[in-house]
Chain A
């Protein structure tokens, strides 16, 4: 149980275009999802916290207008990278905690999306 599906797993886009990444909780409700960014050989850096039905909370230094987050339902959060540039190329990964699930089971992560902007 507690599976998070993330799509696409990889995407190549042209500079200036927008890319949408989806994160779905398949068998549980996730009131909160987290979006991380990971550069090669580096750790995961939290970008924003996505709350169902309300605005996302962005970490300091993350451009809200560039990384649009929508959490319209209890099972779906999306991250849209707008007007992508080569420096946005990175590995993006989401995570969620099942509502009511004991914290000892950890947070479930999606499989990640490798974005390459050319």
Chain B
């Protein structure tokens, strides 16, 4: 089992550029979560998909952020335009169907916006 796969692992970009983060959840898992982690704010839930449908996007900071899950094996988090305050580690996690809350996290994408 490869676990949750995220790409890229590191991204350095300039303010105003578009950034796309990618996530491949564990096969068979039906829930997917995007988190952002910073020193100031800790680990924050951005958006939660269940069976490819967004359930809760209340954590998405603003309209510059968008997330999609076109199928069960792929999700993207896009920031357009990016700003220096978006610099953070972005984690994707997936969860199998059922009543538990055992989430499996990917290694994260470290984003630096200059």
Binding partners A and B: no
